[in-house]
Structure 1
Amino acid sequence: MTSAVTTDKSARPGYGQLLRTPGALGFVLPGFAARLPFGMLTISILLLVQHVTGSYGSAGIVGAVTGVSMALFAPVMGKLTDRRGQSTVLVPVVIAHAAAVSALIALALMGAPLWALAVAAVPAGASVPQVGPMVRSRWAAKLEGSPLLPTAAAFESVTDEFTFVVGPVLATALCTGIHPAAGLVTEATLTVLGGLLFAARRSSQPKPVARTANGEKHASALSFPGLRVLIVAFIGIGAVFGGMQISMTAFAEEIGNPGANGMLYGVFAAGNMIAGITMGAVAWKIGPRRRLILGYVGLTAAASVLWAVHSAILLGALGLVVGLCIAPALITGYTMIEQLVPAASRTEAFTWLTGAVAFGQAGAVTLAGRLTDAHGSSYGFLVPMAATALALLTLVALRAKLAPKAPSRIVNSSAPAVSTVVRNTVNERGMGHRVPVTVD
C-alpha cells in the first residue's frame, strides 16, 4: 500500500484553519475558561499576604511555596492524566484546589503566622489544575504530524498570555478596589466552574494508556534528555514572570500608584501575546532549535536592562519588549515536545514545562521579594537578568540534546508494530516542513 501526503512549502497554516479542525472549539473555549484563574493566582496571593503582613518578602515566600508545590506536583498530575484520563483527574483536582485556596484565605484574614500561611500554600499550589497541558495534549493528538501543530502551539501561547493580560489586571482591580481577598475568591470560583466545564468535553481528550503493548510501564517523560534541557530554559522564563510580578508591584508602590501594577504587568504580558500571534502566522525557514536559542538571546538582552529603569513609561515600554522576546522561546519549546517525547507521555512532558515555569517563578518571587524589601525594586529586577543568562548558557552548551530523534524513537509505544516507513525532512534549516511521505 502506498500513499502520499504533501504540504506546499509556501503554505502558511493560519489560525482560521486551525480552529476549523473538527471538534477544536469544543475544547478550546472551555479550556480558556479553565485557564483564566491561573493568571490570577500568584498575584492574588502576593497582594493578599503583603496586605496582611506588610512585607513583600513574606508575600514572596508564600507565593514561592505555592509555585514550588505546583512545580513538584504538576508532573505527577500529568502522569496520572496520561494513564487515567483527563476528566478522571481534573474533577477532584478543581474541587480540592477551591478548598485549599479557601483555607489560605481564611488563615490570612485571621492573621495567622507566616509559617501557617506557607503550610496552607502547599495544597493550594499542588492542586492547581493543569488545564494548559491537557489542551496541548488534545491538539497534539489531533494534529500529530500535521504542519498545523506549530500554529496550535502558538495559539496556545497566545491563549496563555491573554490570561496573563487579563488575570493580573483583574486580580489587582479586585484586591485593591474591593477587598484584598477578592482576587483569590474569584480565582477559586472560576477554577471550579471552568474546570468542570472542560472536564465535561470528553470526546476530544486523548485516550489514556496505562502500559505499552508488551505490558510494561511507560518511561517517564523526564528520561528524555531534550525535555530536561527545555526544563532549564523554562525555569529561566518562569524567573522572568516571577521577578517582573514582585518587582513591578514594588515599583508601583514606590511611585505612589499601586494600581499601576496591573497595567504594567498587563503590558508585559501583551507583548508576549502579540509575539505569539505573529509566531503562529509566520512560515519559519529556520529550525526550532535555532529559533529557541535566538529567542533566548533576545530575552536575556532585554531582561538585563530592567534594573536601570526608573520611569513608569520606560518600564512599560521595556516590559513590552521583554514580553515580545518570551514568546519565541516559549512557543518553540512547546512545539519541540512532539519530536522529543512519545505521545503516551506528552501530557506529563507538558506539565514538566509548566512546572518549570512555576518553579522559576517561585524562586524569582522569593529572591526578588527579599532584594526588594532590602534595597528596592531595581534590585528585584536583577533576578530575571541572572536567571535568563544562566539558562541561555545551558541551552547553548547542551543544544545537541535538542536535536529531534528519528520517528521510530518517539512513536507511541502502545501502538501495534506494523511494517511502515515514515520519513520527514527535519533539519536545522526547516524543521516542520513536510515533504511527500510514503507509507509502505
Structure 2
Amino acid sequence: MLAPYRRLFSAKGSVGFTTTGFLARLALSMSGVGTVVMIASIRDSYALAGAVGGASLATTLLTVPLLGRLVDRYGQSRIAVPAAVWSALMSAALVTCLSLDAPTWTLFATSVLSATAPNVGGMARARWADLYDGDADSMHVANSFEQVLDELCFILGPLLAVALATGVAPEAGRIAPLLLTLVGTVLFAAQRSTEPRVKPADPGATRSPLRNRGLQVMMLVFLFTGSVFGSLEMATVAYTESLGHKSSAGMVLALQAIGSAVAGMVFGALTLRGTSTSRFIAGVGGMAALMLPLNLAGGMWSLAGLMFVAGMATSPTMITGMGLVMELIPRSQINEGMTLAVTSLLGGIALGSTVAGWSVERFGADSGYLLPSSAAVLALLVAAAGLAWLRREVAARSAESAPEADEAPEAEEATEPSAALA
C-alpha cells in the first residue's frame, strides 16, 4: 500500500515543502481554538471569545481568496511570506492587548487584521500539480496524502492548543500558532526548487474562477460539506455532555478524523476507476449514507464506533473533490480556485456550527445529529443536480488544455533541473 507514496516522494524537493508546510497548516487548526480559550480564560466570557473568533473567521473568508489570486499573479514566496509576517505581528498585538487589559474593540481589530495567514495547503497542492503535470495517478496519490495531512492537523491542532493554554498559560495556545505560521511559511517559501513559476493567463483564465459553473457547483457542495463538519462537532460536544462525558468529546471527534485519515491512505493507494465526476458523486453519496446512522447512537460506545465509520467517507469525498476543482480551473488560477473551495468549506463549518448550536439549545442534544446527516444529503442533491455542469466544464477545460499538451516537449526542455524528478 505504501509503494504509491514512495513513488510520490521520489520527486526532488517534495519532502522539503511537505514537512515545512505542515507546520503552517497545523497553526491554522490551532489559531481559532487558541483564541477562544485564551480570551475565555482571561476575560471570563465565552460570548466575547466566540465573537472575536467569529470576526476573524469572517475576515478570512475574504482575505484567503484574495491572497490566492495574488499568489497566482506574483508567485508563492512573494505573497505568502509578507502575509505570514503581517499575520504574526497582528496576532502578537492581539495577545499584547489582552494581557494589558486593553479595550475590547482592540481585540476585534487585531483579530481581524491577523486574518492574513496564507493557505499553505493549497500552495502545496499547486506544487504537486506542477511536479506531476498530466500524471493523473500521481496526482490522485498526492491529493490523498494532502487530505490525510489535513486530517492530522484537525486532530493534533486543537489538542495542542488546549494543552498549551491549560498546561502552560492561556496565551500559549495562541502564541504557538503565531510562531508556527511565521516559521512554517518562511521555511515553505524557502523551498524554491519546487515553487511553481508564475504562468501567463491561458485562454481559460479570461474570466474569474467564480464565473465557472462547475466551480460554483463545487463551492455549494463544499458549503454543505463544511456544514457537516461544523454541525458534527457541535452535536458531538452537546451529546457527550448530555451523557455525562463532556470531556470525551475530543476523543470521539478524533475517532472520526482517524477514520477519515485511514480511509484516505487506503484510497490513495487504489487504482483510479471511472471519471472524476462519477467518483465525486460516489464519494458524496457515501458520506451521506455513513452520516445517517449517527442518529441511531444510543451511548458512548455506539457513538464512538459510528463516528469512526462516518469518517471513512470524508477523505475520499474531499480527495476527489479537490482533484475535480483542479480539473475545472486553468493552471494560472489554481491557487485562487483552491482557496475559493477552502473558503466555502470554512463558511460551511461556521454555518453548521451556528445552526447546530441553535438547534441543540432549542430541541435538545438528541436532535443534534439530524443536522450533519441532513447537510450531507443536501450536498449529494446539489452534486447530482450540478453533474451536467461539472461534466461540461471538465470537458471544456480538457479541450482548452489540449494545445498545452502538444507543447509539452518544448516546455520540458525549458524546465529547470532542480524541479526535475529524481
TM over 0.5: yes
How far has the Cα of 1:254 moved from its partner? 4.7
Cross-structure match for 2:77: 87
8 Å Cα contact 1:239/1:384 also seen in 2: yes
Cross-structure match for 1:132: 121
Over 3 Å counting, the alpha-carbon distance change for 1:322 and 1:43 in structure 2 is: farther
In structure 1, list runs of 5 or more residues that go unmatched: 1-10, 421-440
How far has the Cα of 1:312 moved from its partner? 2.9
Over 3 Å counting, the alpha-carbon distance change for 1:52 and 1:259 in structure 2 is: farther
Over 3 Å counting, the alpha-carbon distance change for 1:58 and 1:419 in structure 2 is: closer
Over 3 Å counting, the alpha-carbon distance change for 1:245 and 1:173 in structure 2 is: farther
8 Å Cα contact 1:210/1:217 also seen in 2: no
1:388 partnered with 2:376: yes
Deviation string, structure 1 residues 79-133 (Cα, Å, up to 9, x no partner)? 1001011001111111222233334445556778887655544333x31221000
Choose which of 164, 169, 177 in structure 1 pairs with 2:159.
169
8 Å Cα contact 2:155/2:254 also seen in 1: yes
SS in 1 for 2:134: coil
How far has the Cα of 1:315 moved from its partner? 2.6
Over 3 Å counting, the alpha-carbon distance change for 1:258 and 1:40 in structure 2 is: farther
8 Å Cα contact 2:199/2:331 also seen in 1: no
Cross-structure match for 1:201: 191
8 Å Cα contact 1:19/1:25 also seen in 2: yes
Over 3 Å counting, the alpha-carbon distance change for 1:45 and 1:389 in structure 2 is: farther
Deviation string, structure 1 residues 312-352 (Cα, Å, up to 9, x no partner)? 33332222122211111100011113321111111111111
Cross-structure match for 1:142: 131
SS in 2 for 1:148: helix
Cross-structure match for 2:323: 335
How far has the Cα of 1:36 moved from its partner? 1.2
Q: Distance in 1 between matches of 2:350 and 2:235?
A: 13
Q: Distance in 2 between matches of 1:89 and 1:104?
A: 23
SS in 2 for 1:411: helix
SS in 1 for 2:192: coil
SS in 1 for 2:271: coil
Deviation string, structure 1 residues 367-422 (Cα, Å, up to 9, x no partner)? 23344455554454443233222222111111111212245544399x699699xx
Q: Distance in 2 between matches of 1:154 and 1:328?
A: 8
Over 3 Å counting, the alpha-carbon distance change for 1:95 and 1:58 in structure 2 is: same
SS in 2 for 1:209: coil
Query: Aligned AA for 1:281?
Result: A
How far has the Cα of 1:357 moved from its partner? 1.1
1:291 partnered with 2:279: yes
In structure 2, list runs of 5 or more residues that go unmatched: 410-422
Cross-structure match for 2:302: 314
Cross-structure match for 1:239: 227
Cross-structure match for 2:87: 97
Query: Aligned AA for 1:332?
Result: T
Moved more, 200-209 or 234-243: 234-243
Over 3 Å counting, the alpha-carbon distance change for 1:348 and 1:300 in structure 2 is: same
Cross-structure match for 2:10: 20
Q: Distance in 1 between matches of 2:46 and 2:311?
A: 24
Q: Distance in 2 between matches of 1:182 and 1:314?
A: 35
SS in 1 for 2:318: helix
Query: Aligned AA for 1:184?
Result: R
Q: Distance in 1 between matches of 2:264 and 2:92?
A: 34
8 Å Cα contact 2:202/2:330 also seen in 1: no
Over 3 Å counting, the alpha-carbon distance change for 1:355 and 1:150 in structure 2 is: same
Query: Aligned AA for 1:330?
Result: M
SS in 2 for 1:283: coil
SS in 2 for 1:20: coil
How far has the Cα of 1:178 moved from its partner? 3.4
Give the alignment's Cα RMSD to 1 decimal. 3.2
Cross-structure match for 1:275: 263
8 Å Cα contact 2:165/2:172 also seen in 1: yes
Deviation string, structure 1 residues 183-221 (Cα, Å, up to 9, x no partner)? 2221111111111110111121111135559xx974322
8 Å Cα contact 2:94/2:110 also seen in 1: yes
Query: Aligned AA for 2:341?
Result: L
SS in 2 for 1:27: helix
8 Å Cα contact 1:79/1:345 also seen in 2: yes
Query: Aligned AA for 2:379?
Result: A
Q: Distance in 2 between matches of 1:57 and 1:251?
A: 21
How far has the Cα of 1:69 moved from its partner? 2.1
Over 3 Å counting, the alpha-carbon distance change for 1:136 and 1:299 in structure 2 is: same
SS in 2 for 1:14: helix
SS in 1 for 2:123: helix
Choose which of 316, 326, 348 in structure 1 pairs with 2:336.
348
- Percent same amino acid among aligned pairs? 33
Choose which of 189, 206, 210 in structure 2 pairs with 1:222.
210
Over 3 Å counting, the alpha-carbon distance change for 1:44 and 1:376 in structure 2 is: farther
Moved more, 377-386 or 151-160: 377-386
How far has the Cα of 1:171 moved from its partner? 2.1
8 Å Cα contact 1:169/1:266 also seen in 2: no
Over 3 Å counting, the alpha-carbon distance change for 1:246 and 1:116 in structure 2 is: farther
Query: Aligned AA for 2:118?
Result: P
Cross-structure match for 1:436: none
8 Å Cα contact 2:239/2:368 also seen in 1: no
Q: Distance in 2 between matches of 1:334 and 1:13?
A: 22
Over 3 Å counting, the alpha-carbon distance change for 1:123 and 1:333 in structure 2 is: same
Moved more, 263-272 or 216-225: 216-225
Give the TM-score, by structure 1 length: 0.82
Give the TM-score, by structure 2 length: 0.85
SS in 2 for 1:37: helix
